[in-house]
Each structure stands twice: as C-alpha cells, then as structure tokens.
Structure 1
Amino acid sequence: MDRVTKMASERAVVIFSKSSCCMCHTIKTLLCEFGVNPAVHELDEIPRGRDVEQALSRLGCNPSVPAVFIGGELVGGANEVMSLHLNRSLIPMLKRAGALWV
C-alpha cells in the first residue's frame, strides 16, 4: 500500500493502467488531449505490478484499472473520470492539482 501511495504522489496526475485495456487507453488519451502529462504505470509491464493491482483493489478500485490519482488523491476509474468530465469538474480539478495551467 505504501508503494501505491508513493507512486500516486509522484506527479499531479498518475494513472495505473494495463497496456491491453481499452478503457485505460481512453482515459490516457482524454487526459493527454487536455495537455496533461500524467505518470503512467502499466501494471502488466512493471515488476510487482500484480502486487500494485491488488493494493488498488483494496483501496476500492473495481475494476483495478484504470485507477486515476489527481493531486495524490484517488479519483477512481474510467466511470468516475468520465463523469467528472461530463459535469465539467475534471478540468478545474486538474488545474487545482497543477496539472494544467490554462
């Protein structure tokens, strides 16, 4: 769990992902199109990625990926990020976290 907390706070936006996950790809694309430069951890490509995935599940991420952290806080998965986007709260949240400057 400490490893996840440390990884989640390394940048304003952190995404835990799997390289073969289409919803992960969608969320990464959405954030990058806004101009965000997230730290992306592909759990199927990093050492002990399975342990990180289990820790994310214990935090309440279901499914475990994508798991998006903004400002070090867990926002949630694809549904939560898209809901924030659709209700126009995502960009202000990204600005507050220092991920966007405009």
Structure 2
Amino acid sequence: MTAASRLPTWSPGESGSHGSLALRFLGGDSRVKAASSRNFVFDAPDAEGRLRAVLQAGRLSEHGSRGPVTVYSLDFRWPLSPAQALAAVLGTFAWPTDERD
C-alpha cells in the first residue's frame, strides 16, 4: 500500500484578517475541531484507483473536560491495522512544535 499525506489548501480570511492553511477531514461535520500542527489525513488509492482517506488524526478541542489536557482523535480503516494507525500518530509527537500544540 502506498499512502500520502493530504496537503492543506489555502483558506482566505474574512475581510481584514489573514488567511490560513486548512485541511479537509472526513465527513462534513468532522470530530477534528481545533488547529494543530499534528492534524493530518493519509490518503490511499482504492480498488478503482481513487484516493480515499484511510487515516485521520486531529485535535478535538483546545482543552479537555479535565482542564488543560489536550484531546486528540484517531480514525482509521482498512488496509491499516490498529497498530499501524497508532504508530503513525505517535510519530507525530516527535515533531518539533510550539508550546501551544
């Protein structure tokens, strides 16, 4: 299987504000709600050769229900196993980020 990370697109800001990069997640009302440099989507080709998301990971909220605890989600499907999906996400925590992430 060959998978590639989905690239973000430019989202222009409202009048007078700066734009930003945006990443489209699975479903119209995705669970991923908060910005994070660790948010990502992996796409892989299906049987017909079309790219489809097989893994998405992202920040759910700025703070969890227990205070300053950051909560992330992990959604995956075949052909990834739970161990492969978890390994991909754990690898993102080695990425250098700012303190807000």
TM-score where L is the length of structure 2 = 0.31
Higher relative contact order (CA 8 A, sep 6+): 1
Question: Where is the helix percentage greater, Structure 1 or Structure 2?
Answer: 1
Identify, as 1 or 2, the structure richer in strand. 2
Which has the greater radius of gyration?
2
The TM-score with structure 1 as length reference comes to 0.30
